[in-house]
Copies of this chain bind each other. A is one copy, B any other.
Amino acid sequence: MAPFCSPALLQALLDVEVALADAQAQVGMIPRDCAADIRAAARAEFFDAATLAEAAKTDGNIVIPLIGVLTKQVAARNPDAARHVHRGATSQDILDTAIVLQLRVARNDIERELTAAMTAAAAFARKYAATPIAGRTWLQHGSPTTFGLKAAGWLDLIGRSRARFDLAIEQALVLQLGGATGTLASMGADGGAVADAMARALKLTVPPMPWHTQRDRLVSVAASVGVICGALGKVGRDLTLLAQSEVMEAIDTLPGGRSSSMPHKQNPVHAVTAIAAATRAPGLVATMLSAMPQEHERAAGGWQAEWQTLADLIDITKESSVAIATALANLRVHPVAMKRNLALNGGIAMAEALSTALTPHIGRREAMQHVEKLSRSAQRDGRSLRDVASTDAELLKWLPAADIDRALAPENFIGSAETFVANVLRAWAM
């Protein structure tokens, strides 16, 4: 049950206790030298995380045993100061605020990786804006698109997901300080001033009221990293599909991902890490949502369910961000394979292109029907669509051979791909 089970969390918890004491000293609630003694004792290396985690199981949360040990450590320096540890606060004040501090740190890590992934995607988008690749719908060839547009799709998706995450974090950077039942009654008239001073020190906002059982801010952060994981999972899925032995259009070349039994393999470990994260995130986000209906002024189960869940979500989002940034940074793109694959199955991926060229002459439905006939004949006889089309007397009545040729060249049927790529690059200033 230890949340963010790490020295970093321990220090964050202690930082919050220190900020509380300092703020209370500032408003004259406790002596300044006592606050200094609390600060001196509040260093994570003086505490044993495993012991605290174990004690948390019977005490109900990790803050309760932490305060016990902290109070002893402070008392060893100054018995007077020990009386002022954790004055008027409740353990949830400390833990929630520490989690908020941790989220702020995580934001930097995650956004850095997402930006790296976006930069790599942007480079592909620009370079391959007009490079045809089979458009694939339902995992089958449709009309061509471009590899640049595919990469622009990744970029746009990651960009929006990062922006939402950033906003969700920003809205969650609020102090938690309410005391036992959220009124700060234990601080008498000083509650507001203590909260202001504490928030200033921690660079957090003071919310209109404590939020012990109003969990929407944290849950919205969770949802936003869930969306990031889903977005990176989409990129990862595309990468695994492109790297298939039968496709081989783009390969993550970073050493790693070797098979323990097959000498020739190089597994797409990074892409798969992102897919695994995208598989895990939805259940974890669901848990955060499920935990929202928390009872009265302090939850009986819901709050406690959040700790490990949110920590896991942040962790896998980091892992996934690193993985996709790495995969894109090491991606080798094979335009030749893209061209080769477009020609598979007699090149019938170009059927829509041909029917589009034909539509002005005989109308949409007739054009589709005629081209469908040509496509089926090509497939039946194992000939290419080009071959069948360029020898079809009827078709030649409407379209001269040169027009048929032009229609069947993938690079001539990429529509607004380059415009879309430019739009996306501009949107993210890349």
Contact = CB atoms under 8 A, between A and B. Distances in A.
A421 B209 CA distance: 8
Contacts of A219: 227, 230
Given A209-B152, A216-B230, A304-B276, A138 B267 contact: yes
A383 interface: no
- Nearest 3 interchain pairs by C-beta: A135-B181, A275-B301, A230-B292
A57 interface: yes
A259 B180 contact: yes
Contacts of A284: 283, 287
B60 A256 contact: yes
B156 A208 contact: yes
Interface stretch (A8-16, A99-107, A395-403, A409-417): A409-417
Contacts of A145: 181-183, 297
Contacts of A278: 289-290, 292-293, 301
Contact of A356 (B186, B281, B364): B186
A286 B263 CA distance: 35
A57 B323 CA distance: 9
A242 to B, nearest CB: 9
Interface residues of A, number: 170
B135 A182 contact: yes
A20 interface: no
A214 interface: yes
Given A161-B216, A287-B282, A365-B83, A261 B139 contact: no
Contacts of A416: 183-185, 191-192
Contact of A245 (B267, B349, B364, B366): B349
A258 interface: yes
A300 B272 contact: yes
Contacts of A156: 208-209, 211, 214
A218 to B, nearest CB: 10
A32 B428 CA distance: 38
A146 interface: yes
Interface string A58-97: 1110011001000100000000001110111111000000
Interface SS of A by simple majority = helix
A137 B185 contact: no
A8 to B, nearest CB: 16
Contacts of A63: 260
Contacts of A28: none
Interface string A312-323: 100000010000
A286 to B, nearest CB: 4
Interface string A127-144: 000000011111111111
Given A59-B258, A180-B259, A282-B289, A296 B209 contact: no
Interface stretch (A43-51, A113-121, A197-205, A231-239): A231-239
A240 interface: yes
A7 interface: no
A344 interface: yes
A174 to B, nearest CB: 11
A405 interface: no
A279 B256 contact: no
10 contacts: A1-B319, A58-B269, A140-B244, A144-B181, A146-B183, A185-B352, A216-B227, A261-B352, A264-B348, A279-B305
Contact of A272 (B234, B241, B304): B304
B179 A241 contact: no
A11 to B, nearest CB: 19
A26 interface: no
Given A136-B245, A262-B352, 13 more contacts: A57-B273, A60-B256, A60-B269, A143-B185, A150-B297, A183-B414, A186-B352, A240-B300, A262-B351, A272-B300, A275-B301, A276-B304, A284-B287
